[in-house]
């Protein structure tokens, strides 16, 4: 069954195989570069996320794609939809900001400039589809802070992210897809 | 090379690029709609009671209770790329130290154009508390009715549909007589 392919392989020669491997690697590398570049521009560790839960229904459903930015100079406002990650929790959560409280830094003897800084903001969030706010989700914290926030939702594309959810739910699909792509990249003649 | 594989490949590539073009066009078309409807917001009363809420603290703290009236016609915000409207009423105040605070006290999701004529006599849905646990010495607060237009595809937009003309002071905290 694989005799034909093997013969083709020998006909193409070792250099061609190497070239295909190189092509494959450059595709992966440019993908990674685009992802990290987007992260730099948007100041967010993951500028595109997939909605994993139904707590923001009917605004966002499972599998919707969200585009995030997180400008350091911009404060969070109520009504903003943020993606946050609590240390210790493994998945990020997409919820809407319910309360913001600016905290004026106390003037300390060591840093007198602290008062002119933007200061910290304490945030409380809530999912549109949840009855109560998120205090229970914060794992002991009373408020969210900027360091927990991955980004603010700016744009929205429905359904597209469902591919990744399907791949997580059925790992066989993931391996089949990766293997198929890899094989195609190696065998293709042009 | 006109085998079945390349044909399927070409057709699906064409389909997906057409789809992308269409989605981008729809998302951009939203920028042409610049409706900015205004409504009326009226704060009927504000009361402050010291109360205990076990979810946030074991001690007593001041909670504010706000009664309000809203009338607004937000139908112009609905266009062909509007999935829903998230409407919220927030209180804005600067506390004694001058730090800004924003607290959402009421919200509503509007999913149909027919429901976008808002006529509400209501009270706050969410707990309204101060960080320092008391509203004593907190300057009067402004209230604003804001909305977030969520599209079927594209960018989220925000706007303001109403605001109190004058700041509403917090009354003295007093024990509830029952």
* CATH of residue A119: 2.10.109.10
Do A30 and A53 belong together in one domain? Answer: no
Quote the CA–CA distance of B142 and B94 in Å, as a whole number: 10
Any chain A CB within 8 A of the CB of B166?
no
Query: Residues A18-31: pLDDT tens digits?
Result: 888 899 899 999 99
Do A154 and A174 belong together in one domain? Answer: no
Catalytic residue, chosen from A44, A64, A95, A148, is: A95
Quote the CA–CA distance of B114 and A128 in Å, as a whole number: 21
Any chain A CB within 8 A of the CB of B121?
no
Query: Residues B16-44: pLDDT tens digits?
Result: 999 999 999 999 999 998 889 999 999 99
Quote the CA–CA distance of B148 and B88 in Å, as a whole number: 8
CB contact under 8 A, A104 and B154: no
Do A143 and A77 belong together in one domain? Answer: yes
Query: Chain B contacts of A103, Cβ < 8 Å?
Result: 99
Do A60 and A126 belong together in one domain? Answer: yes
pLDDT at A184: 79
- CATH assignment, B35-163: 2.60.40
Mean pLDDT of B6-11: 91
pLDDT at A15: 84
Domain residue ranges in chain B = 1-32, 35-163
In terms of C-beta density within 10 A (0-12 exposed, 13-18 middle, 19 or more buried), how is residue B91 classed? buried
Query: Residues B97-148: pLDDT tens digits?
Result: 788 999 999 999 999 999 999 999 999 999 999 988 889 889 999 999 999 9
On whether the CB atoms of residues A137 and A93 are closer than 8 A, the answer is yes
Domain limits for position A14: 3-42+167-187
pLDDT higher than 70, residue B178: no
- Which chain A residue has its CA at the smallest distance from B108's CA? A128
Chain B nearest CA to A12, separation (Å): 18
Any chain A CB within 8 A of the CB of B5?
no
CB atoms within 10 A of CB B147: 26
pLDDT higher than 90, residue A108: no
Do A91 and A148 belong together in one domain? Answer: yes
pLDDT at A106: 60
CB contact under 8 A, B86 and A101: no
pLDDT at A113: 43
Quote the CA–CA distance of A149 and B114 in Å, as a whole number: 36
Do A107 and A150 belong together in one domain? Answer: yes
Q: Chain-wide mean pLDDT for chain B?
A: 91
CB contact under 8 A, A135 and B56: yes
CB contact under 8 A, B126 and A98: yes
Do A146 and A105 belong together in one domain? Answer: yes
CB contact under 8 A, A78 and B152: no
- Which chain B residue has its CA at the smallest distance from A136's CA? B55
Do A126 and A37 belong together in one domain? Answer: no
Do A78 and A141 belong together in one domain? Answer: yes
Helices (H), A3-103: 3-12, 14-42
CB contact under 8 A, B158 and A135: no
Is residue A64 annotated as a catalytic residue, yes or no? no
Do A176 and A150 belong together in one domain? Answer: no
On whether the CB atoms of residues B26 and B153 are closer than 8 A, the answer is yes
Of the pLDDT bands very low, low, confident and very high (cuts 50, 70, 90), residue A112 is very low
Of A4-8, B105-109, B127-131, B154-158, the poorest mean pLDDT is in: A4-8
Mean pLDDT of B36-60: 89
Of A73-77, A79-83, A97-101, B3-7, the poorest mean pLDDT is in: B3-7
Do A26 and A61 belong together in one domain? Answer: no
Mean pLDDT of A178-185: 83
pLDDT higher than 90, residue A12: no
Look at A116 and B22; give whichever has higher pLDDT.
B22
pLDDT at B96: 77
Of the pLDDT bands very low, low, confident and very high (cuts 50, 70, 90), residue A118 is low
Is residue A55 annotated as a catalytic residue, yes or no? yes
Partner-chain residue, chosen from B27, B102, B109, that has the shortest CB–CB distance to A77: B102
Quote the CA–CA distance of B49 and B127 in Å, as a whole number: 12
Mean pLDDT of B76-89: 94
Which residues lie below 8 Å from residue A35, measured CB to CB, with a gap of 6+? none
Distances (CA, A) of A66 to A31, A35, A94, A151, A164: 18, 14, 10, 10, 13
CB atoms within 10 A of CB B80: 10
pLDDT at B37: 93
Do A178 and A121 belong together in one domain? Answer: no
Mean pLDDT of B156-166: 93
- Which chain A residue has its CA at the smallest distance from B96's CA? A104
In terms of C-beta density within 10 A (0-12 exposed, 13-18 middle, 19 or more buried), how is residue A61 classed? middle
Quote the CA–CA distance of B25 and A83 in Å, as a whole number: 27
Any chain A CB within 8 A of the CB of B30?
no
Whether the ω angle into residue B133 lies within 30 degrees of 0, i.e. cis, is: no
Of the pLDDT bands very low, low, confident and very high (cuts 50, 70, 90), residue A114 is very low
Q: Which two tokens stand for residue A128?
A: 């549109």
């Amino acid at each position: 069954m694989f005799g034909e392919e093997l013969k083709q392989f020998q006909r193409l020669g070792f250099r061609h195989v190497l070239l295909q491997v190189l092509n494959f690697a450059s595709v992966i590398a440019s993908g990674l570069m685009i992802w990290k570049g987007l992260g730099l521009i948007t100041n967010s560790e993951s500028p595109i996320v997939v909605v994993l839960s139904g707590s923001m229904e009917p605004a966002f459903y499972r599998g919707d794609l969200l585009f995030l930015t997180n400008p350091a100079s911009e404060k969070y406002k109520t009504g903003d939809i943020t993606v946050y990650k609590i240390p210790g929790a493994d998945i990020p959560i997409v919820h809407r900001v319910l309360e913001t409280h600016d905290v004026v830094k106390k003037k300390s003897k060591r840093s007198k400039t602290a008062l002119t800084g933007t200061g910290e903001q304490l945030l409380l969030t809530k999912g549109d589809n949840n009855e109560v706010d998120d205090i229970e989700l914060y794992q002991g914290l009373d408020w969210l802070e900027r360091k927990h926030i991955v980004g603010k939702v700016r744009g929205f594309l429905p359904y597209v992210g469902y591919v990744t959810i399907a791949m997580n739910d059925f790992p066989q699909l993931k391996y089949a897809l990766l293997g198929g792509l890899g094989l195609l990249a190696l065998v293709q003649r042009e | 090379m006109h085998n079945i594989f390349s044909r399927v490949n070409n057709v699906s590539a064409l389909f997906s690029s057409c789809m992308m073009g269409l989605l981008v066009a729809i998302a951009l078309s939203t920028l042409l709609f610049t409706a900015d409807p205004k409504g009326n917001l009226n704060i009927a009363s504000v009361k402050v009671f010291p109360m205990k809420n076990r979810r946030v603290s074991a001690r007593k703290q001041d909670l504010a209770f706000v009664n309000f009236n809203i009338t607004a016609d937000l139908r112009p915000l609905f266009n062909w790329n509007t999935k829903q409207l998230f409407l919220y009423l927030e209180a804005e105040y600067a506390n004694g130290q001058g730090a800004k605070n924003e607290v959402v006290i009421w919200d509503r999701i509007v999913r149909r154009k027919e429901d976008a004529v808002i006529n509400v006599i209501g009270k706050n849905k969410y707990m309204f508390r101060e960080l320092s646990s008391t509203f004593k010495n907190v300057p009067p607060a402004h209230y604003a009715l804001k909305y977030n237009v969520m599209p079927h595809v594209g960018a989220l937009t925000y706007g303001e549909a109403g605001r109190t003309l004058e700041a509403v002071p917090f009354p003295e905290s007093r024990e509830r007589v029952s």
